[in-house]
Structure 1
Amino acid sequence: MLFFSTALLFVSAFNYGFSDQAFASCQAMDSFTRQFGVYKESTGKWALDPLFTSLYNSIKAGGQIIGVFVGGWVSNTYGRRMCVFVMSIYALGSASVVISSTTQAQIQAGRALHCMQLAVIPTTLSEIAPARNRGGVSVLYWLAIKVGGLIVTSITRGTKTIESNAAWRIPFGLLLVVPSIVICLVWFIAESPRWLLLRGREPEAYEALRKLKPKNMPEEDLRAEFDLLSLKVSEQLQKKSFSDLFTKPNRLRTFVVVMSNFFQQATGQAFASQYGTLFVKQLKSINPFSVTLGTNAVDIGAIIISAFLIDVVGRRALFHTSSILQTGALMTMGGLGTADAGNKSAKQGIVAMLMIFSFSWSLGWAPLTYVIGAELPSSPLREMTLQIAYFVKLITEFAVTFSYPYMETADTPGHVYLGGKLGFIYGSLSAVAFLFGYFFMPETRRMELEDIDAQFTPSTNDEETKNFDTLVREEDATTVIEISK
């Protein structure tokens, strides 16, 4: 049952990655441009208006903000399974609007109707996974997203040559498949035992835990594990309010979760994922769909490495390594962007740095931000903490995606063309992200969620809550350097 539950959550996250990359890739198709763009007499070509492009790529963040709060309420009130069910219904509606779109307003509306997967999937994966494997299981969320992106990029690379609107409608039409499957199967997975215990439903929680454990597990061992889990969860049953996020035991971890979500987006991932195909197309050096396909493949390799290492070397080492590689790739991209506009080698170098940046981001900041977000907050405050963190994340993502077209369209009055020099902006923020991770990111590998909570709970030993150093800082800069090599 653990495998089945994880697999269904994986498939659901897969559909999010499929849809996200479908939107990103299809906007670079000529048929898409003819349908939703404007004809420019000066060039004799169709082009997407910068305002449309900005909204098309950034409006999903607004929809996700609503989805995070609505999904959080559904998940907290009615359970994880109900939230996945509602999310899948939501996804079917979004896909239906997009497939039938003929105007800018219609496809923007479909883009805004984005799913609420952030509110439930990372949290559920962390709650049902054993402590020794929780990091690797939680990383599956981002792996699923990238696998979905890789597959849809392969599809769009094949359909882009179709002259009709079928070129982009075929990829969008496939978005109906996975939600239909999830809607039928979600009721067969186990509910989160922790969610049930937090609502005083002990018999159901025991049965859910039984389903998630091996069938040959002795009854006495199962009972002992359940009693221990119940004891730990019972300490968190007290009612919590929004102000509790900022009390002494909680404000540091609230700060870490929120800022990690900020830096995950501020370092430019939205530029790479949402505009990567368009960005490479404007460079006119390499097939943009081939580059996007290669980038998704590279990302998957990075995530697999992260899944194997996260519970071995720990969270901190991967965060630091990711930041160092990101900063180097982005700064190099910025330097290459200062070369002459006709320098083909410089353009190819920029594409290479874009892929290295994407690899390094997927190695650490991409998946581990969700891991930390699911692990660090206390159970009663998890939904509220993540709602604030995801709000900050999505606002930052909106800012990055909305501003990009205005920095890449010099032929429009008031706009500029930065090209690869964007690397200087995002690279500087990536350097700050490294400092944040080094001084504030805790180490939580192989710890039960309730044990992490205990590290921040006031006790007779004040040293336990004095600062983040009590969270087992086993990795140092030497480990980071060895991994980066």
Structure 2
Amino acid sequence: MVSTPPEKSNIRPRIYLRDFNATLICSVALLFFSALSYGFSDQSFASTQATFAFKKQFGDYKPKEKTYALPALYLSLLNSLKAGTQLVGVIIGNFISKHYGRRWCIFVMSLYSLGSVSVIVSGTSRGQMLAGRSIHYIYLGMQLAVIPTFLAEISPTHLRGGTGALYWLSIKCGGLLVTGIVRATSTNKSNIAWQLPIGLILTFPFLVAALVWFIPESPRWLLLVDRHDEALAALTRLRQTRAEKRNKVPISTEILVEFTGLTGTVEGIKTARCEKGGSRIRQFFSIFNRSNFRRTFIVVFLLFFQQSTGQSFASQYSTLFVQALNTVNPFSVTLGTNAVDIGGILCCILLADRLGRKPVLIISAVLQTAALLTMGGLGTTDPSTSADSDSIKAGIVAMLLLFSFGWSFGYAPLAYVVAAELPSPYLREYTLNVAYTVKLTMEFVVSFTYSYLEDPDKANLGGKLGFIYGSIAFLALIFSILFVPETKNIELEEMDERFGVAADNSILEKGTTEDPIDVKR
């Protein structure tokens, strides 16, 4: 017997047979695999820059230390310019995704990355490496634009939080995989130490480009472009159980109910948009009007805090940071950091659709604040004059791991989930463009300033960096408590009703399972 999907109620929805539809699982798996290349790319660049071979090829020889080192300015540019090109990728990805579909966006970005990786692997000069890394992040920006949205649109409502968190889990799994490879190749003194890990990136986009046409297009996007028959066929493929397919039974009532509700809501949104009319510029500025400003504000600051608490420092520079402490093997710590991150994301997946988005974000901010401020406190002691210097350095490394766990537990995956959930479907492109601009600007700021803040000849802050990022993490905690709404178990198309103008008058009269303070604050 085929079990029926849950009706909306105050009780947390159960998981049903159609939630394990083979097409849905394969679609999520392919998107997971595509996002895996994001983490693989990002961490291959971050880890290989600490290898001897990379420093010898692109760095300067230091006679006093008798070793090679990357100049501070070049290191800053190497890890920060990518934020600007990634923003270009977000804009391009949103445009292709909106006008040509999610699958076309994934196909185009995959083909593009095959060329950008080739530029990097063949690099012999600083300029070529800098250019190669920068243009490759256009591909990663396109990923950022399409993968979280695609996952949110094809997932059953009661599983959307956990499915969305899979995006960040896949990134960290890719990071864990490549850091293991870099650790194995790091002892090699030839360029193969960094060329092999980076060259392996080619595997992911090649397979994704070949397989993306076997998964259905987003039903929501098809409805938005008036392709109703294709939308119903796509939703049926994503929801029909194996027994229904095998017996060739008509489309079930549950699927038709979901499709009817989805169609009605999308048509209502399109009608409202036509009544408002206006140019694209006017549509863009509508994200700041009375009915949309609160959602825009929340999405923007979620992604602001996701980066400003020092994520770029932990992901891009952790290997160099631990290497500077001269304690344990830095590649082992980076490997451990990625493993800890995966543990945090798995906890998030288990709790996001049970506790809800808001409690998980609050816990995440608490862990980040505690870890970073403790790191700052440990950093005030000079290890060179302290009898417990090894313990202090070990404590700083431990706080780095705790911070990374806390960040991955909530803000890393859920910022993308909520950012994909909150905006109105027709304004999602504009809202995310603004939010990702803020996110990538903060990523640029953190990445560019780190090498100067850490350089012994510059600020030489060391562990005291925790005070800077920890203060921002505390503000993220206040923001999570006061402003972030609960979006658990709310259909994407219902966000206009829950958080738009309708929320001012009707939603509290109708009654809802959400906290009234969260619906309208």
Name the TM-score, length of structure 1 as normaliser. 0.94
**CA offset digits 1:405-457 (Å, max 9, x no partner):** 0011123xxx2100000000000000001111111000010111112221123
Amino acid in structure 1 at the alignment position of 2:65: T
Structure 1 residue 112 corresponds to structure 2 residue 134: yes
Following the alignment from structure 1 to structure 2, what is the Cα–Cα distance between the partners of residues 460 and 439? Answer: 18
Residues 465-484 of structure 1: pairs in structure 2 closer than 5 A: 472-473=514-515
Amino acid in structure 2 at the alignment position of 1:275: Y
The residue number in structure 1 matching 2:48 is: 26
The residue number in structure 2 matching 1:286 is: 328
For residue 431 of structure 2, give the secondary structure of its aligned residue in structure 1: helix
Following the alignment from structure 1 to structure 2, what is the Cα–Cα distance between the partners of residues 437 and 31? Answer: 43
Amino acid in structure 2 at the alignment position of 1:196: L
Supply the RMSD in Å over aligned alpha carbons. 1.8
| Native 8 Å contact 1:455 1:465 kept in 2 | no
The residue number in structure 2 matching 1:394 is: 440
CA distance 1:465–1:38, shift in 2 (3 Å): farther
Structure 1 residue 172 corresponds to structure 2 residue 204: no
Q: CA deviation at 1:256?
A: 0.2
Amino acid in structure 1 at the alignment position of 2:91: F
For residue 442 of structure 1, give the secondary structure of its aligned residue in structure 2: coil
Match of 2:214 among 176, 188, 207: 188
Structure 1 residue 83 corresponds to structure 2 residue 129: no
Match of 2:265 among 223, 228, 232: 232
The residue number in structure 2 matching 1:12 is: 34
Per mean C-alpha deviation after superposition, the further-off stretch among 63-72 and 239-248 is 239-248
CA distance 1:379–1:460, shift in 2 (3 Å): closer
| Native 8 Å contact 1:317 1:475 kept in 2 | no
Match of 2:422 among 376, 379, 390: 376
Per mean C-alpha deviation after superposition, the further-off stretch among 191-200 and 339-348 is 339-348
Match of 1:202 among 219, 228, 236: 228
Following the alignment from structure 2 to structure 1, what is the Cα–Cα distance between the partners of residues 310 and 367? Answer: 14
Residues 84-483 of structure 1: pairs in structure 2 closer than 5 A: 84-113=106-135, 114=137, 115=139, 116-215=142-241, 216=243, 219-221=251-253, 222-237=255-270, 238-239=273-274, 241-342=283-384, 343-411=389-457, 415-459=458-502, 462=505, 464=507, 472-473=514-515
For residue 7 of structure 1, give the secondary structure of its aligned residue in structure 2: helix
Per mean C-alpha deviation after superposition, the further-off stretch among 261-270 and 335-344 is 335-344
Following the alignment from structure 2 to structure 1, what is the Cα–Cα distance between the partners of residues 503 and 453? Answer: 55
Amino acid in structure 1 at the alignment position of 2:49: Q
Following the alignment from structure 1 to structure 2, what is the Cα–Cα distance between the partners of residues 357 and 13? Answer: 23
For residue 200 of structure 1, give the secondary structure of its aligned residue in structure 2: coil
Per mean C-alpha deviation after superposition, the further-off stretch among 457-466 and 62-71 is 457-466
Aligned-pair identity in percent equals 53
Following the alignment from structure 2 to structure 1, what is the Cα–Cα distance between the partners of residues 90 and 155? Answer: 22
Amino acid in structure 2 at the alignment position of 1:232: T
**CA offset digits 1:55-106 (Å, max 9, x no partner):** 1111111111100001110001100000001111121122111100000111
Q: CA deviation at 1:27?
A: 0.6
Count of residue pairs brought into register by the alignment: 471
Name the TM-score, length of structure 2 as normaliser. 0.88
For residue 292 of structure 2, give the secondary structure of its aligned residue in structure 1: helix
Amino acid in structure 1 at the alignment position of 2:265: K
5+ long unaligned stretches in structure 2: 1-22, 245-249, 278-282
